[in-house]
Amino acid sequence: MEYVLEIENVSKFFHGLVAIDDLTIKVKPGQIYGIIGPNGAGKTTLFNCVTGIYTPEKGTIKYKGEDITGMQPHKIAQRGVLRTFQNIRLFKEMSVAENIIAGTHTKSKQKWYHSIVHTSAYKKDELKNWQKVEEIMEFFGLSKYADTPAGDLSYGNQRKIEMARALAADPEILILDEPAAGLNENETIELTNIILKIKKMGLGIMMIEHDMEMVMKLTDYITVINFGKEISQGLPEFVQDDPRVIEAYIGTDDEEDE
Amino acid sequence: MNKTTITAVAFMAIMAFFPFLVDSAWLSIGITFLVFAVVAFSQDIILGRAGIFNMGHAIFFGMGAYTTAILNVHFGMEIIYTLPFAIIIPVIFSILLAGPIIHLRGDYLLVATIGFNIIFEQVLSNDVFGLTGGPNGIFGIDVVRVFGYELFSDTSIYYIAFGLLLITLLIIRNLDNSKYGRALYYINKNEIAAKSMGINISYYKLFAFALGAAIAGAAGAVFAIQYSAVSPESFNFMQSVMFFAIVLVGGSASLPGIIIGTFVMFVLPELFTEFKESRYLIFGAAMVLTMILRPNGVWPAKFGNIPKFLKKKVAKQEEVK
């Protein structure tokens, strides 16, 4: 199987207005795929279509060859498509470890009666879940915050927790919505290194990012979107110099000047 | 041992010896307290943990009580054999009733559950199928017989209720340390994040309803045993409001909070009976003040329920610093 995620000719309308228009994007395992474009271009809408929050009106989305278009979000996540959010969505009052163990939900084999009676099968499964959390916290350098409420930590750490939570589910495709938004320079560098390490695990990563330095450093392939349409795609070096891309970013400024 | 553990042990010790310390009037208040605490804990699974605005919890409590009463009085079944039915029937109805409305947003679901509670009360007071006895309810429920012993004294009923409370607390502890229990918290704290982690929201919300209904039903059976009678007004909308308020005033998903809430709502009024109706004025004001001053309840829940080997790491890292 060549592609882990295939988005084919997908369109999404809101009240007749086009939010994304005929997009085709294919992500390979072990690849970091960047989605860039001006604000309001439809990038997050695309991610919401892939993760089932929205159902696209046209086109198909395939995960490992299986059609997942219009599936409910939890079913898509159960298959191995995990995401983070632009405006961080953590269980703020709960501790960091309790947040990350949420990622083990789909793999955990506990049945309903294990919430009433703790059998030996439960104990084995529960220990496995927490060991996974331990391993992931180590990877992200979050061990020292294990019992701290997630909402009390810095923005940078909260972004890490979100990513750790998604990674605890052993995803085959990880969808990152502006992972560096709101981070300072050091935090961005740290996060960039973490994402490179995640890439080495062999999963496909799709990310929206505005920090161009980070995009150039991380991505293997880029699609540029404006007004929901693809205006360019290719290797980072190509896209960077593409006149259509430069126009999309700077063109809007010209119009404002007039 | 920390403060909370000591408080909990002291509380349990007092409760265990309570029948030997008080007169019969107080013993009866003690039984009521235990039964209502169990119902409040069951509502806390639905409202406090899963965050579902269930304003009809008295339905499941009442269903348990009426099931025991009907099976015993009309069909002559021994009380002890009615117990499984008093648990299963509320569970079945909780799924049938909550199923069609489970996807509704908090406020809409709240109105729907009020509707269910009003219908339930009407069904009871109109003697549907000639089983519920109309507005006066059902009288003459038998005593509990176990292995030839008749458990008719208030003391024995107290220990039945106390046993039920201990089982309920054990279930809640096990729930909180399981995948299902955590899923309820995730749904409550951030539904979109929960969905995106692969959690089937409707399924887990229905699970919360079913578990809550099961425990409330068992409490209903003990309630029927205590009074050897059941009547519709014990399970009306106002009772549901009380169970709803206990959870929010005490503190969602907080064990001490629910105990305090039950004490304030059901036991304190008994202490001030000489003030008659005016006492409710004070409780009304107390509810308002709690919500303004302590919106998370008198004793809010604490998170950080993680295994020791992870906590040890935190301590080690701090030493290094």
Partners of residue A106 in chain B, C-beta under 8 Å? 197-198
Using the Cβ of B225 and the Cβ atoms of chain A, whether some distance falls under 8 Å is answered with: no
Which of helix, strand or coil describes residue A104?
A: helix
Asked if the Cβ–Cβ distance from A115 to B200 is below 8 Å, we say no
* Domains in chain A, CATH or no CATH each: 1-80+171-258 (3.40.50.300), 92-169 (no CATH)
pLDDT at B195: 95
Long-range contacts for B317-320 (Cβ within 8 Å, ≥24 apart)? B317/A143, B317/A144, B318/A144
CB contact under 8 A, B211 and A92: no
pLDDT, mean of each 10-residue run, chain A (258 residues) = 90 91 93 90 92 94 94 96 95 95 94 94 95 95 93 93 96 94 91 94 93 90 92 90 83 48
CB-based contact B311 A147, cutoff 8 Å? yes
Cβ of residue B193 closer than 8 Å to a chain A Cβ: yes
pLDDT at B276: 64
Q: Cα-flanking dihedrals φ and ψ of residue A82, to 5°?
A: -115, 155
Asked if A161 and A85 touch (Cβ cutoff 8 Å), the reply is no
Contact B197 A149 (CB under 8 A): no
Two tokens at B247? 């959870």
Say which of A89, A118, A146 has its CB closest to residue B314: A146
Residue A143 has its nearest CB partner, among B183, B304, B317, at B317
d(CA A2, CA B196) in angstroms, rounded, equals 25
CB contact under 8 A, A91 and B207: no
**Based on the number of CB atoms within 10 Å of its own CB, is A26 exposed (0-12), middle (13-18) or buried (19 or more)?**
middle
AA letter at B72? N
Q: How many angstroms away from the CA of A82 is the closest CA of chain B?
A: 7
Structure confidence by residue, pLDDT tens digits, B100-113:
999 998 899 999 99
pLDDT of residue B8: 87
Whole-angstrom distance, CA of residue B197 vs CA of residue A51 = 10
CA–CA separation, B114 and B238 (whole Å): 10
ipTM for the predicted complex comes to 0.92
Residue closest to B307 by CA, chosen among A29, A159, A146: A146
Cα distances (Å, whole numbers) of residue B13 to A83, B18, B20, B37, B308: 49, 8, 12, 17, 27
- All residues of chain A having their beta carbon less than 8 Å from the beta carbon of residue B179 are 104-105, 108, 110, 114-115, 125, 129
Q: Please indicate whether, in this complex, the C-beta atoms of B197 and A95 are within 8 angstroms of each other.
A: no
pLDDT of residue A256: 44
Q: φ, ψ for residue A247 (rounded to 5)? A: -65, -40
For chain B, positions 151-190, list CB contacts with chain A under 8 A. Answer: 171, 174-175, 177-183, 185-186, 189-190
Residue pLDDT tens, chain B, 321 long: 677 788 889 999 999 999 999 888 889 999 999 999 999 999 999 999 999 999 999 999 999 999 999 999 999 999 999 999 999 999 999 999 999 999 998 899 999 999 999 999 999 999 888 888 889 999 988 888 888 788 888 899 999 999 999 999 999 999 999 999 999 999 999 999 999 999 999 999 999 999 999 999 999 999 999 999 999 999 999 999 999 999 999 999 999 999 999 988 888 777 777 766 776 777 788 889 988 999 888 888 888 888 888 887 777 766 655
Q: Do A108 and B207 touch (CB under 8 A)?
A: no
pLDDT at residue A63, rounded to an integer: 95
Amino acid code (one letter) for B1 = M
Contact B304, A149 (CB under 8 A): yes
Measured CA distances, B294 to A148, A149, B29, B202, B249 (Å) = 22, 19, 28, 30, 8
Task: Name the residue of chain A whose CA is nearest to B193's CA.
Answer: A89
Token pair 């693809």 is at which residue? A230
Question: Which pLDDT does position A252 carry in this prediction?
Answer: 53
* Residue B230 φ/ψ, nearest 5 degrees: -135, 145
What single string gives the DSSP state of each residue in A170-192?
Answer: --SEEEEESTTTT--HHHHHHHH
Q: What pLDDT is attached to residue A211?
A: 87
Nearest to B186 among A91, A116, A126 (CB): A91
B95/A contact by beta carbon, under 8 A: no
Which pLDDT value is given to residue A246? Answer: 85
Cα–chain center distance at B106: 20
Residues constituting chain A: 258
> Would the CB atoms of A117 and B318 count as touching at under 8 Å?
no
Minimal C-alpha gap between B307 and chain A (Å): 8
Residue A254 has a pLDDT of 47
Dihedrals φ, ψ of A27, to 5°? -110, 130
For B307, phi and psi rounded to 5 degrees?
Answer: -65, 160
